[in-house]
Structure formats: C-alpha cells, structure tokens
Amino acid sequence: MEEQSASGTFPRSAPGRAAIGVMQGRLSPRPASRLQAFPHESWPEEFARAKALGFDYLEWIYEADRAAENPIASAAGRAAIRACATESGLPVGSVCADFFMVHRLAGGTAAERAENSRSLAELVRWTRELGASRILLPLLETSALPTPELVAQATESIQSVTATLDECAITLGLEMETAGPDYAAVIRGIDHGRVRAYYDTGNSTAQGFDIAEDIVPLLPLLECVHVKDRVRFGTSRPFGTGDANFAGLFQVLERAAYSGNFLLQHYFDVEPERAAAHSLAFVSARLRAREAA
C-alpha cells in the first residue's frame, strides 16, 4: 500500500501503520571512528537484511567521500540499485545528501555555490531514477546557517533547483539544528511546496530542545522524521538511554494527525542487525501506543 505525500508516493506496509525506513550503513559493520558512511562493500546485502527485519524502505547515502564511486553517480550503478530494490522487495524511499555538507550551498564563492546547486539538481534527477521521492538535505554542522547572509545564500541556491524538484516530483527535506520557529522561518522563506522539514529527534535533543515542543512550529511543513536518541549537549545513544522526549513527541504527532514516514538513524556499535531490530521494535511500540490512544 502507498501513501500520497507532497512529493509523490511512499511505501506503506499495512493500512494505518506509518512506514519506517532505515538509514543505509546501519546494517553493515560500523566503520572506524564514524557512525555514518556509505557501505561500499556491503550495500547490496543491506536491502535483504532490512526487508527481513521488517523495514519498509531504505534511505540511500550520497556523501562527498568517494562520491564518484557511489553507485547512484552512474547510470549502471543506478540500474544496479533498482535491481536490488526489485529483487528484495525493499524500495529506496529517500536519499541522504551528505555530499552537501562539504560542497555547501551557502558560503564560499558565488561560482562554487552555483556549481553545487547544479550538483543538487543532478542528484534530484538521479533520485527520480531510483524511484525515490525525497532528498534529505542536511543544513547542520559544517553546512549550518548561523547568519542571515548564509540563510540568504542557501535560500538562493535551493530556489534555483525548485523547477527540477517539480519536474521530477521530488521533495527536498531540510534538516537543521536550530530552534523550531527559526527552522520553520527558513523553509517559509524559500517558499516552495516541495521544500519541507526533515526533523531529527536526536540532533534537536542534543541542542537542548524538548522535541515535543520544538517540533510544533514545523508540523505544517513536516515531511519526515529522523528518529534517534541523544544526550542533551552530547552524543548518540541506543534508544531509551538518551534524553529525547519520545513520549511527548509521539503524542504531539498523534494530535497533529501526522501521517508521514519515520527513518531510523539509530546508534550502533557491534552487531548491526541486532541493534537495528531493537531500534525498530522501540519505535514500532511507540507508534502502536500512539495509534491505540
């Protein structure tokens, strides 16, 4: 079953249940000193692993490191991704564009920003070829927008690709680590229906926000929720051991009749499949409680 969204269709596995996806790399051995990276050696196997665990879709990672070697960057590679999705029965629902944390849409020279905007438009077209309907654009850490000047530059860069978003029926979900009202103001300033919020529960918790309150200004703009647990002003933790206010968050989402997707970007160290299974069970239990309330 599928659910209509601003950008097209998303997979749903059963009537009345929100689709839950998993971030690529969370079903492969964790790389040294990193929590998130594209799994060059094991990406084909992740489709079957995610399907067997009960996930509904996969979020593909496109990062600057070895970008040209990422299968999404070639026609043959995109065909191989589609083949894995078809064989496993698990679609690629979205693409995480970590590439633009290095090749930024704000800062640098006007020529650099224009080139990076062209790269984003190209990624939009690649995403359509995969059959996905959403791109996560992280505007945080190295690509954060702490000044009005950077907000204006990012706005200009993103507005330059909105025609491509419309042409390809792709939604661009912005992830930020700023307070909800300011976050919403950036999206409203871009002023395009396919540019929406992709909220991260862990990162916002780490900024010191109560996510049940912080997300409220974003509810009319909310495209998807990255679900992870973190300590306030600290690092990621397994679900239930950090400070994220999940009880309050899911109550708010229920009252708002949020019907979008959830994407697990959970902490893991060893035994990635076991960690993924635990994380899926944690989130699924809270969704069941929300739906039964």
The model's pLDDT over 202-225, given as tens digits with 9 standing for 90+, comes to 999 999 999 999 999 999 999 999
Q: pLDDT of 79-88, one tens digit each?
A: 999 999 999 9
Average pLDDT over residues 53-67: 97
Per-residue pLDDT for 3 more than 50? Answer: no
- What are residue 238's phi and psi, to 5 degrees? -55, 150
- What are residue 259's phi and psi, to 5 degrees? -120, 15
pLDDT of residue 291: 62
What CA–CA distances, in Å, run from 169 to 73, 134, 173? 19, 9, 13
Average pLDDT over residues 17-24: 90
The CATH architecture one would assign to domain 2-292 is: Alpha-Beta Barrel (3.20)
Average pLDDT over residues 156-163: 98
Average pLDDT over residues 94-108: 97
Per-residue pLDDT for 15 more than 70? Answer: no
CB 158 within 8 A of CB 190: yes
Domain boundaries, the chain: 2-292
Cα–Cα nearest to 196, from 214, 218, 228? 218
Banded pLDDT at 270 (limits 50, 70, 90): confident
Per-residue pLDDT for 11 more than 60? Answer: no
Residue with the larger pLDDT of the pair 131 and 15: 131
Write out the two tokens for 14. Answer: 């059963």
Min mean pLDDT across 13-27, 37-51, 231-245 is at: 13-27
Banded pLDDT at 7 (limits 50, 70, 90): very low
Q: Where is mean pLDDT largest: 18-27, 34-43, 71-80? A: 71-80
Per-residue pLDDT for 275 more than 80? Answer: yes
pLDDT of residue 220: 97
Q: Can you give the pTM of this predicted structure?
A: 0.91
Q: Where is mean pLDDT largest: 213-227, 230-244, 256-270? A: 213-227
The dihedral through the CA atoms of 121, 61, 132, 284 has a sign that is negative
Residues 6+ apart with CB under 8 A from 278: 238, 239
Rounded percentage of the chain residues whose pLDDT exceeds 70? 93
pLDDT of residue 17: 66
